[in-house]
Homo-oligomer: A and B are copies of this chain.
Amino acid sequence: MVKQQVERQHTPSMEDYLEAIAMLRDANKAVRVSQISRRLKVRMPSVTSALERLSEKGLVVHERYRYVELTPEGESVAEGVVHRHEALSRFFTEALDIDRETAEEDACKIEHVISSLSLERMIKFIEFIQSCPLEEPNFPKRYKYYLEHGQLPEECLARGLEKEERRK
């Protein structure tokens, strides 16, 4: 588990294009400029010029008026982005109990900047709360209670107080 924070190679915008291309291809088959344009909510000329920059870096293949494809390298960059996106989105919804829409929005932004260590910890955290076989000291349940009521459930507080008593 070495820390080799590989200086981020691509801009958020580039990563967004690669991600969009990967996802469109998974959903349909052939990826067109217009689809990318709609998905990322930018105009077509912006897509064309982004694709140019991406080909220069060897991440996509795009012949004029034709479909867009990822190179193996583009593929692997896209995969990384999608992976980060999914982990973040799960962390927000499952661990922090945030609504899907906000979770997606935040994941879209944070996927471009988070360190691999923090991401790894978030993934571990989800594993942790899911693998926890206990029901009474149940993390997500108590957390949600706390979110709603601003304090822990009665029985927890009670036990906490006992403790403090004993300490005196």
Classify the interface of chain A: helix, strand, loop or mixed: helix
Which of these, B106, B121, B132, B164, contacts A96 with CB under 8 Å?
A: B121
Chain A residues bordering chain B, tally (CB within 8 A): 43
Which residues in chain A, 94-115, are within 8 Å of chain B measured between CB atoms? Answer: 96-99, 102-103, 105-106, 109-110, 113-115
Which among A96, A122, A136 has the greatest number of chain B C-beta atoms within 10 A? A96
Answer whether A106 and B115 are a contact pair too, CB < 8 Å, given A133-B160, A160-B134: yes
Within 8 Å CB of A143, what residues of B? Answer: 125, 128
Copies in the complex: 2
Residue of B nearest to A161 (CB): B133
A146-159 CB mask vs B (1 if < 8 Å, else 0) is: 11000110001101
- 12 A-B pairs with C-beta separation under 8 A: A106-B114, A109-B113, A110-B110, A113-B113, A124-B146, A124-B147, A125-B143, A127-B146, A133-B163, A133-B164, A134-B159, A135-B163
